[in-house]
Structure 1
């Protein structure tokens, strides 16, 4: 009888060990599958981040902030942020009553005002204008004087037409 109890205990312990082994093995396979899935997602995200960084570098290529040669023109003026200064001066032209004087069109819904500005270098900038319904783009030449005044000259313009 004592031998049968030890035999039953041994078989019971063997079954528990077998169950533990199988369930641990299944758990390990599931975890490995999850890890592989997460590694694939991380790789996709890394590729996406790298593409985004390259795109940002492309966008920043024509930008005064990243052009040391163009920024050197403003060293003697001791401006903290020449881009912001030029943008502010251009936006001040919106304060006049009526259309912005740099926009060569009459507003159809309201007055044309400059909305968005991209300073390309120490001589040119791009600007977007709109009256709320119609919009267009401007290419503007500017010159920052030693007295910190800015002269703006319209080089080219484009008004988008709506096709309904």
Structure 2
């Protein structure tokens, strides 16, 4: 991730396995009712509006911090999804509540991102979620790698 890419690329490119209408089970932290986050995102949407269709702003209801994927709908049994949720509920009960600071912005080739600080508690939540997935699928069967995770909230996606 760079703070000054020379070119942007389309965030909406087709990733392997994806097609129109295909859905993926994913854990997100969301920001429902978090007015400070919504205000900050609105400031960025306003500042970026003059760029037109180059960036797709993310509305408040879709602001999120992607934590961990589970698998494509239809490829993961719903009973397994529920079992992962139950295992995560048990594991996350031990994680204390925490506050976050969001920002500063980073211009990624695919998005305008806001880094999240401190990232330790977010990583602890992700570790618990990954362990819950491992509880259900087996420790070596957790999708995605643990490495390379950079907690952030996107405020706009690049259209290319």
Interval containing the TM-score (normalised by the shorter chain) = under 0.3
TM-score (norm 1): 0.21
Bigger proportion of residues as helix: 1
Q: Which has the larger radius of gyration?
A: 1
TM-score (norm 2): 0.21
